[in-house]
Structure 1
């Protein structure tokens, strides 16, 4: 006899389900990011998990089984910056470009299973968890990459003058965290990674995101063609927007970061107004998508831990999120690369260590790209 299939967990509010409908929970904040605005996906994921965990405890094992995590602490050991015990938190959010499976058709490249980090953001949550600063790290930044041990225990040699995103492609999450800590001198308390296909599906599940473009954006490589004006972006279009670097501005990674940061604010604002609590089944679908989309450090590697972590972020709105790009200057030897402006970058890192706002002087006169103001919330 054929094996009986295991029934899916009952979903509150699903037609035909005898379980009473439950809609308890609180609307959450977005996190994410793949291409760079994947911080939005990560933030959203954490928020949806909180919702999914309230009033639907019997779905715990289903959602918990979706989560992937990496033991960063074990991989990196004790050779790390000290924890700062001032009530703040630092989270590294990466958007992974895995060239295999569902991501191949989205990201291009070869189906060799290789992965890159096309997005990197340090999210500093201030004491009291009412404000945050987000520092984007351009993937094309030339850095000194430290030696590191990946999650499988393989050691990778240090390298000089390599692109920042080589850290992830060389040794995965652990080496990416080690590199960020080496560059900044700041310990990363948590790690969240989001992939291509998860980002796209989550935007579709949310019903799209509304943005306004001040200029036409056309980039065949990102499958994006938007006229100036208001648009409700579906998942494919949103992914194209946060990935494009040739469709607007000077075609630089710095310009793309500006688009990503603007999109992230649009999504943070919009999620607060989505009526997901009116549909428990939609809530479950969002929780299912979100937990499949992210990889976390092992400290927040369960639904319970992630929900507790996300609960501490619920007071942060987009108006209380300061977004900057790590201070860099164009490399005179290669226009496609940038170098860390060490003096100005130190102002950023010191502000975060001291749990203070990033001073305007830290980014004045640094390279920024030319896409500012092209995208704004709905």
Structure 2
């Protein structure tokens, strides 16, 4: 019996040992699989980063502007980013009009990110603004000797020349610059799954390829671009008259891009980032994914209620009333941004009302509801809209 018991015990021990070996082998196999997956994930992430960085086009800047911009750090201090919408028509198979061989900025926005990431003030600069433009070195688009002209024509000499023109106009340092063409804008809207807007009246404009009904609706990329571009069907057909619609479109993009519909969908989030990087031209200080991510994280910290889109206060240009120049309110605006101070508005001018064709007036008038505790010389009167504004 003892011999049989010992033989049985040895058999049980052998089975246990074999079972333990199998468990160890399975654990080792699992560790190998996990390690392999981690390696694949890292390699995949590096490949994605490489792809995204490869998407970017980097703008050359002349030495003085390059030194100024490259010295800017993507940290928590106040920053000014110049965002340009190019009217280049060499894309889109001619659907945006004929390519004339020149480059103009169809839209121009100075984005001020406050220190501590507490707020963002995005100032639209009318493309018909005239000024004494500074000279620009040749960085691939020819040189410019300087002279009077519209600010949008500076882009014909590259992002570098637009940076110098805006710095001359505002007296502010531009820390970074990025530009986006028509196709890129449409791709960004498509990548986030479209945007929601609300129109008080139907809009049709063959020049902008626009045909939209009144009311709340969702727009794809092409229609969102058309709404941002439309001029002749609203107000007096000027660049100023369309800025309220541009504010609505930009606010809608901000709302959708920061919504759970995008952030909780890896496919949409990647498509959004891929669309942006594929369409952007940036300065060297934003030429890596980590640098762009740092800027994006700053923007993401700012609540939509503290993101304000506004139009540069303006007046008819002295030399040509068909063009515009900064008004006294604009000087107060630049001073507030330079000091990184919150903007004080003389009235709550709704961008939707401005879209009907009304123009903001000067500070010579009293406005009902204005904060009487503030000196009138500190208040700014312009058309504005927050990213949290309701659709209708």
What's the counterpart of residue 33 of structure 1? none
How far has the Cα of 1:245 moved from its partner? 0.7
What's the counterpart of residue 391 of structure 2? 377
| Structure 2 residue corresponding to 1:142, chosen from 120, 130, 133 | 130
Correspondence list, 1:1-378, <5 A: 56-72=45-61, 74=63, 76=65, 87-102=77-92, 105-110=94-99, 112-152=100-140, 154-160=142-148, 162-169=149-156, 171-331=157-317, 334-341=320-327, 343-361=328-346, 365=362, 377=391
> CA 1:364–1:83 in structure 2 vs 1: closer, same or farther (change >3 Å)?
farther
Q: Which has the higher helix share?
A: 2
What is the SS of the residue equivalent to 1:109?
Answer: coil
How far has the Cα of 1:273 moved from its partner? 2.3
Contact kept in structure 2, 1:212 and 1:376, CA below 8 Å: no
Partners of 2:185 and 2:95 lie apart in 1 by: 11
Q: Deviation above 6 Å: which 4+ runs of structure 1?
A: 82-86, 366-369
What's the counterpart of residue 6 of structure 1? none
Partners of 2:37 and 2:230 lie apart in 1 by: 45
Q: Give unmatched runs, 5+ long, in structure 2.
A: 1-35, 348-359, 364-380
Contact kept in structure 1, 2:120 and 2:307, CA below 8 Å: yes
How far has the Cα of 1:220 moved from its partner? 1.2
Per-residue CA distance 1:313-369 (angstroms, 9 max, x = gap): 21123310122211211247655311222x322111110110002232597528979
What is the SS of the residue equivalent to 1:128?
Answer: helix
Partners of 2:144 and 2:270 lie apart in 1 by: 40
TM (norm. structure 2) is 0.73
Partners of 1:285 and 1:153 lie apart in 2 by: 31
Partners of 2:138 and 2:161 lie apart in 1 by: 6
What's the counterpart of residue 351 of structure 2? none
Partners of 2:195 and 2:316 lie apart in 1 by: 33
- Count of equivalent residues: 320
**Cα RMSD between the aligned structures?**
3.2
How far has the Cα of 1:66 moved from its partner? 0.5
How far has the Cα of 1:100 moved from its partner? 0.9
Partners of 1:290 and 1:79 lie apart in 2 by: 25
Contact kept in structure 2, 1:92 and 1:122, CA below 8 Å: yes
> CA 1:20–1:226 in structure 2 vs 1: closer, same or farther (change >3 Å)?
farther
What's the counterpart of residue 373 of structure 2? none
How far has the Cα of 1:119 moved from its partner? 0.7
> CA 1:376–1:194 in structure 2 vs 1: closer, same or farther (change >3 Å)?
farther
Per-residue CA distance 1:288-335 (angstroms, 9 max, x = gap): 222101111100111121112212221123310122211211247655
Partners of 2:249 and 2:268 lie apart in 1 by: 23
Q: Which has the higher strand share?
A: 1
Contact kept in structure 2, 1:89 and 1:126, CA below 8 Å: yes
Q: Give unmatched runs, 5+ long, in structure 1.
A: 1-18, 25-52
Higher Cα Rg: structure 1 or 2?
2
Query: Which structure would you say has the larger RCO, counting Cα contacts within 8 Å and 6 or more residues apart?
Result: 1
Partners of 1:140 and 1:251 lie apart in 2 by: 13
TM (norm. structure 1) is 0.76
How far has the Cα of 1:211 moved from its partner? 0.7
> CA 1:58–1:248 in structure 2 vs 1: closer, same or farther (change >3 Å)?
same
How far has the Cα of 1:146 moved from its partner? 0.9
